[in-house]
Amino acid sequence: YVLMEVDDPDEEGKCRHLVRGLTWAEYHQDSASPTIEELEAAGLRWRILGGGRIRYSAENKALHIYGH
């Protein structure tokens, strides 16, 4: 997963945080790329704050989130 901060240049001081993830992505940039394209097309500013991995087990009903 990747944690992103997004803000609109027309609304100074306001920002939103997004979490994006793709099962096949090996790197933060891979998870962020589709969203980055949309944000840039909309004229929004973005930055990657960090990220990590998410491991989910439906069988054990467990979710493990950790930095990477």
Catalytic residue flag (residue 28): yes
Radius of gyration of the chain (CA): 14
Considering 17, 28, 64, 68, which one is annotated as catalytic? 28
What sections of the chain are H helices per DSSP? 28-41
Residue in 6, 22, 4 with CA at minimum distance from that of residue 14: 6
Q: Would you name the residues annotated as active-site residues?
A: 28
